[in-house]
Amino acid sequence: MSIFEKLVNKEEKIAVIGLGYVGMPIAVAFAKKLEVIGFDIDSRKIELYKSGIDPTNEIGNEGIKQTTVDFTSDETRLKEAKFHIIGVPTPINIDKTPDLTPVELASSTVGRNLSKGSIVVYESTVYPGVTEDICVPILERESGLKCGVDFKIGYSPERINPGDKQHRLENIIKIVSGMDKESLHDIARVYELVIEAGVHKVGSIKVAEAAKVVENSQRDINIAFMNELAMVFDRMGIDTKEVIEAMNTKWNALKFYPGLVGGHCIGVDPYYFVYEAEKLGYHSQIILSGRKINDGMGKFIADAIIKKLILTDKVVKQAKVVILGMTFKENTPDTRNSKVIDIISSLTDYGIEPIVVDPVADTEEAKREYDIDLVDIREVKDADCLVLAVAHDTFKKMSLEEVDSLFAKHNNKAKIIVDVKSIFNRKEIDEKGYTYWSL
């Protein structure tokens, strides 16, 4: 009997290692069909899940309360599973090189609790070769087992888009790979249980690893192009949004927009690809150029804020700047690698201590990671400049009257609105006489 059949018959269990924005949706989806152990080293997070609280907002509290996932921070419980999915984060170091510590530690944990006949599938984003050349030796060392003989491996890159309620795990085609035909067949059948859109089988683990870093690198480069255009149009006095809307009337327009590019995927994955390419003697030209542009957008926006403060006769060091949003993207509490921090850091260099508002962000994470105390928007008053940095739905729904109530009692020309995501109607803003800038 295959491992797939044993899982379906509930004779064996599946384990998901890493219960964040990637692992939790996978665990919950599989729990509707199979017996699932959800493991995370963060005992605080496990207690939240057990209490029916979803800190990621990906599933929602009600979904967590209803799921049958067996949550645990006890790694020995992994011995009960025969199919392991590792979905831990893969960040970068300060020098922009890959930080494989989380995936290495997860491999050690699984290895210590691995039994014969198991399959281990990695979902963490890595450069081609990591699964076979780095993770497998760890699994073998910790388990005392031989890959290909006692256990098999595969790779299936995560494609979840945090905060996106339309493109969900179930309706995004899943790339799957295995170390041989047998493992590929078994891995594909297991994922087909929950992936309604179907799976796409590739011929090797390296191909699957490459597909993930390349698809995010492609998106990064396209956004970098739009960011470069936005910087040029700013000098030309041309509205970037209006240009893009005109361009998008053509059927084959790609519909990318300028903006801050952070998070744990698009702002990170290109560095993984470049790192491995440089090890092989190729120095990236396009990818690194795109990264340089995108990494510089926070300072560019901060400089635009300073210019507007000066042009409206504000004393820069005394200016009250309020930033709306600090997560890496809209409608998610995830603040990892948020480029809004670059705006804050640059403003601090000018002597400004901005007030930061974000009703969606994880308050504890903001304090722990960035030492930022988030402020309730109801406490904001007498602002000189409002910076709409993240397009949360709650901000998009704000009326001009609500926005105006946050400002000091200046004439409208002295009220500065910096609209990073072009949320507002520029014509309406201009008619009211505000000082307005958008990316």
Residue 124 in contact with residue 103, Cβ under 8 Å? yes
> Taking the CB of residue 304, how many other CB atoms lie within 10 A of it?
20
CA distances from 166 to 50, 137, 255, 434 (A): 27, 39, 18, 35
Residue 128, Cβ density class (10 Å: 0-12 exposed, 13-18 middle, ≥19 buried): buried
Residue 177 in contact with residue 202, Cβ under 8 Å? yes
Helix (H) or strand (E) holding 174, with range, is: strand 174-178
| Tokens encoding 439 | 């990316």
Number of residues assigned to the chain: 439
Closest-CA residue to 175 (of 98, 122, 100): 122
Q: Distance between CA 174 and CA 157 in Å, rounded?
A: 8
Q: Distance between CA 225 and CA 255 in Å, rounded?
A: 12
Q: Distance between CA 157 and CA 122 in Å, rounded?
A: 7
Quickly list H helices, 173-266.
181-192, 205-236, 240-247
| Tokens encoding 390 | 């993240």
- Among 135, 147, 265, 385, the one annotated catalytic: 265
Q: DSSP code of 257?
A: -
For the CA atoms of 272, 360, 258, 269, the dihedral, rounded to the nearest 10 degrees, stands at 10
Residue 175's DSSP bridge partners are 200
| Tokens encoding 103 | 């995936």
Helix (H) or strand (E) holding 417, with range, is: strand 416-419
265 is catalytic: yes
Which residues belong to the active site?
265
